[in-house]
Amino acid sequence: MNNAVLRSAGVNQTFLGEVVAGLGQTPKALSPKWLYDHEGSKLFEQITHLPEYYPTRTEIDLLAHIVPSLSEALADRRLLIEYGSGSSRKTRLLLGAMPNLEHYVPMDVSGEFLRGVADGLSKQFPNVQVRPLVGDFNVSLKIPAELREQSSLGFFPGSTIGNLTPAKASEFLRLRRDELGEGGELLVGVDLRKPVDVLLAAYDDSAGVTAAFNRNLLTRINRELGGDFDLQRFAHEARWNDDFGRIEMHLVSRGEQTVRIAEHCFEFADGESIHSENSHKYRIGEFKLLARASRWDVRQLWTDDKQWFGVFLLG
Ligand SMILES: C[S@@+](CC[C@H](N)C(=O)[O-])C[C@H]1O[C@@H](n2cnc3c(N)ncnc32)[C@H](O)[C@@H]1O
């Protein structure tokens, strides 16, 4: 398949450009945002229900516990913006406790999935205007003018902030400082340091769902960009990188091989990988420093008994 055919078939040129650049560099790496097409979002939702995946249930338990004590922060807010909203499962806890909320803006890169979730929420919360926004949270969002003056709360759960390097996480927090305006607050879920065996199991579960989620990136490249990845020849691997305090997901080549994407060819050595995601695990003090360096004060912090997960209210 040549590039002209791909172009006329409506290929996402940004995706193609980033894949060609990411697989052309050493080591090979792609942004984790590409993991989330519609199938990727559905697989991620399955991951959140797995016994090994402690972050979702820990954060939901924490939110259920803290929402009543957050009544002041929630009561007067008229605008709620959620970054990387996915299924918005956790948000339902907030929406039920925001009597004056007028607008909820779930934003996500996975457009079709987002629209389905937004339809469901509109029916469940008829008093709130649900305004889904498809986009990339690494840039400033185009919030409709009539919403910008509202008293706003940002919500960034799921430890999605851990998918960004600390430098990118700081940029994200600075962008939100301007976007949420004076008096705006941001509620962020952050996964914390814990024993490495717990982390590795969470990112390489026994049912193989995380492996399918990671490999779906290759299926997506094959379908959307005309690639010829043989999925059986790439293994999912979760690694702990102690230097950077993060879990890394890799797709590791089984043997030497050449992969074609449109008119581009990429050579893989045996054992060479595509680095597809980072999940940084913070110490409480590290995250507080990051927030302060990004123009936020830490107003409140809640953790579970084991201090595996933290919910930070920044203001
Ligand atoms: C780890 S999941 C968390 C989902 C949900 N917030 C939760 O707590 O379960 C990350 C979410 O962020 C979205 N996402 C990833 N990168 C993004 C980006 N650069 N811009 C917007 N959304 C992104 C994904 O589509 C996915 O829904």
Ligand 1 atom at minimum distance from 48 CA: 9
**Residue with CA closest to ligand 1 atom 24:** 84
Same domain, 183 and 257: no
Average pLDDT of the chain to the nearest whole number: 94
- The tens digit of pLDDT for each residue in 75-115 reads 889 999 999 999 999 999 999 999 999 999 999 999 999 99
DSSP-derived letter for residue 302 is E
* pLDDT category of residue 11 using cuts at 50, 70 and 90: low
**Residue with CA closest to ligand 1 atom 11:** 84
* pLDDT category of residue 62 using cuts at 50, 70 and 90: very high
Q: What's the pLDDT score for residue 8?
A: 36
Q: Between helices 38-47 and 209-225, what is the axis angle to 10°?
A: 180
**H-run or E-run covering 220:** helix 209-225
Q: What's the pLDDT score for residue 4?
A: 36
Same domain, 123 and 207: no
Q: What is the pTM of this model?
A: 0.95
Same domain, 190 and 252: no
Same domain, 93 and 156: yes
Q: Give the span between the Cα atoms of 30 and 208, in whole angstroms.
A: 21
Q: What's the pLDDT score for residue 6?
A: 36
- Domain membership flag for residue 234: yes
Q: What percent of the chain has pLDDT over 70?
A: 97
Same domain, 171 and 80: yes
Please check the confidence at residue 70 and state whether its pLDDT lies above 60. yes
- Domain membership flag for residue 305: yes
Q: What's the pLDDT score for residue 10?
A: 54
Residue 48 near ligand 1, beta carbon < 6 Å: yes
Q: What's the pLDDT score for residue 31?
A: 97
- Domain membership flag for residue 41: no
Residue 88 Rama label (left phi>0; alpha psi -120 to 50; beta): left
Which among 82, 19, 44, 61 is positioned nearest to 203, based on CA atoms? Answer: 44
Q: What's the pLDDT score for residue 3?
A: 34
